[in-house]
């Protein structure tokens, strides 16, 4: 689910992106306007992880966040039932989405339509509308130019078919696994491979910077995703940037990893990376993508980056807090990223190495008053680690369950015994709204 700060950060870019589109103000009763929104929503639904359509902002005044919706428009577009009824007339199958009204920092009001990726088959336009919509057309978001258009070339059609095929393959693998049929070969990396990955990571993180040091001095996660077997030349250096952008995960709207097009990508031959300092969104991270396919990510705990009474420790002995959702949701995104990398690289195994740093003296809290923990869990150690290697088939069949299992291992070191189903239901509710 997208929040207020993320919307403003996207508007501050001054241009639309692959997964973010803006529309000026208009009424739900305006047929031509609704057709434009339906077109954008169908295109976002045909995009991996879906995307956002922000209503109320003119493209020419995007950074000023103007003009905003009037009160009538805000009420109309905030009604899920009414919006769903209008948009369902145009899309086959209907698009899944959530509507979120926001008041921006300048007092202007917008509604964001948070569109989910299609379930099984892409969305096809089911109805003509003047020059805006054509029955039988499939609308997409091309990478080269962020706009919602009919499939313009074989490249975009291939991407859409690949996405549908990947979903079908995952469903098949999950069914095979449920029937007790194993599709995995080897299940773990050798000692020599682990050493090679470690040496590569040390080299990739070896370029010091003031921003990276600030991350290291904070409570942060340090994650490595390692596709096996080790192959130092799995990805050509020229392909590293497009590769990680193609695998990027947007389960909660904000991308993991975040590739910032406002700053250059640092290139060091066999690896590339960025260090992203917080601007509007309270978010601080650094990532590295290596030619072996190894992905490295350091991220300051979101618990420390947000100002909320729900994120305060309740134990007076605690020097800080770690929210359950901070660990849980992030690791589910990381394992989904690993699953996408495994598909693209056709590797045999994926190893997730997760370290939680700077947690000495912290209390584990839920971070959500509706899901309070019933004991005080204080940590004395400064560093917690969990490592899990999984075969590609297992990862493809249940990436979120793998993320939940790693989160359980980390949270268990605080002494918390949170049932797997509780964590699965929690992340499912946040990520899907169900």
pLDDT of amino acid 420 = 81
DSSP one-letter string for 347-396: -SEEEEEEEEES-TTEEEE-S-GGG--SS-EE---SEEEEEEEEEHHHHH
pLDDT of amino acid 169 = 86
CA distance 126 to 93: 9
Helices 80-88, 31-45: axis angle to 10 degrees equals: 80
- Contact present, 231 and 291 (Cβ < 8 Å): no
pLDDT of amino acid 167 = 87
pLDDT of amino acid 177 = 73
CA distance 104 to 123: 31
- Contact present, 283 and 254 (Cβ < 8 Å): yes
Read off the pTM: 0.87
The DSSP bridge partners found for residue 298 are 222, 286
CA distance 73 to 104: 16
Nearest to 114 by CA among 26, 20, 33, 8: 20
pLDDT of amino acid 219 = 97
74's tokens: 């805000």
- Contact present, 282 and 254 (Cβ < 8 Å): no
pLDDT of amino acid 147 = 93
3-class DSSP assignment, residue 228? strand
pLDDT of amino acid 372 = 85
Digitized pLDDT (tens) for each residue of the chain, 434 residues in all = 678 888 998 898 888 988 999 999 999 999 999 999 999 999 999 999 999 999 999 999 999 999 999 999 999 999 999 999 999 999 999 999 999 999 999 999 999 999 999 999 999 999 999 999 999 999 999 987 889 999 999 989 999 999 999 888 888 887 877 777 766 665 566 888 999 999 999 999 998 899 999 999 999 999 999 999 999 999 999 999 999 999 999 988 789 999 988 899 999 999 999 999 877 777 899 999 999 999 999 999 999 988 889 999 999 999 999 999 999 999 999 999 999 999 999 999 999 999 999 999 999 999 988 888 889 999 999 999 999 999 999 999 999 999 999 999 999 999 998 888 888 888 777 666 65
91's tokens: 């899309």
DSSP assigned state of 89: T
pLDDT of amino acid 175 = 81
DSSP one-letter string for 45-86: HTSTT-EEEEESB-GGGTTTT-B---HHHHHHHH-HHHHHHH
CA distance 268 to 259: 17
Question: Which ranges of 221-345 does DSSP label H, i.e. alpha helix?
Answer: 240-247, 302-305, 324-345
Q: Please, what are the domains in the chain?
A: 4-152 (3.30.950.30), 191-432 (no CATH)
């Amino acid at each position: 689910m997208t929040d207020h700060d993320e919307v403003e950060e996207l508007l501050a870019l001054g241009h639309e992106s692959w997964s973010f589109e803006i529309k000026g103000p208009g009424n739900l009763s305006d047929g031509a306007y609704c057709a434009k929104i339906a077109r954008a929503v169908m295109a976002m639904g045909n995009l991996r992880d879906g995307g956002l359509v922000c209503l109320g902002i003119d493209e020419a005044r995007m950074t000023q966040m103007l003009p905003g919706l009037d009160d009538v428009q805000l009420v109309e577009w905030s009604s899920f039932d009414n919006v769903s009824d209008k948009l369902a007339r145009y899309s086959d199958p209907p698009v899944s989405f959530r509507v979120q009204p926001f008041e921006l920092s300048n007092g202007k009001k917008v509604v964001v339509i948070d569109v989910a990726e299609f379930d099984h088959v892409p969305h096809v336009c089911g109805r003509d509308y003047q020059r805006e919509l054509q029955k039988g057309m499939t609308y997409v978001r091309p990478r080269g130019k962020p706009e919602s258009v009919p499939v313009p070339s074989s490249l975009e059609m291939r991407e859409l078919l690949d996405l549908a095929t990947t979903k079908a393959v995952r469903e098949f693998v999950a069914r095979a696994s449920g029937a007790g049929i194993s599709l995995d070969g080897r299940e773990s990396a050798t000692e020599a491979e682990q050493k090679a990955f470690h040496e590569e990571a040390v080299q990739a993180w070896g370029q010091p910077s003031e921003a990276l040091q600030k991350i290291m001095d904070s409570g942060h996660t340090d994650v490595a995703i390692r596709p096996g077997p080790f192959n130092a030349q799995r990805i050509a250096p020229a392909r590293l940037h497009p590769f990680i952008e193609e695998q990027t995960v947007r389960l909660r709207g904000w991308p993991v990893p975040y590739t910032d097009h406002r700053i250059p990508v640092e290139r060091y031959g066999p690896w590339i990376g960025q260090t992203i300092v917080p601007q509007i969104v309270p978010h601080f991270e650094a990532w590295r993508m290596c030619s072996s396919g190894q992905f490295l990510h350091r991220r300051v705990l979101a618990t420390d980056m947000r100002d909320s009474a729900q994120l305060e420790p309740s134990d007076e002995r605690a020097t800080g807090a770690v929210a359950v959702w901070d660990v849980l949701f992030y690791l589910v995104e990381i394992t989904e990223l690993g699953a996408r990398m495994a598909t693209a690289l056709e590797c045999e195994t994926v190893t997730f190495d997760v370290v939680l740093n700077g947690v000495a003296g912290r209390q584990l809290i839920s971070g959500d008053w509706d899901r309070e923990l019933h004991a005080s869990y204080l940590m004395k150690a400064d560093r917690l680690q969990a490592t899990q290697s999984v075969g590609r088939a297992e990862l493809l069949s249940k990436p979120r369950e793998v993320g939940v299992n790693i989160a359980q291992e980390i949270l268990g070191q605080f002494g918390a015994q949170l049932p797997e189903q509780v964590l699965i239901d929690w992340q499912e509710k946040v990520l899907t709204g169900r």
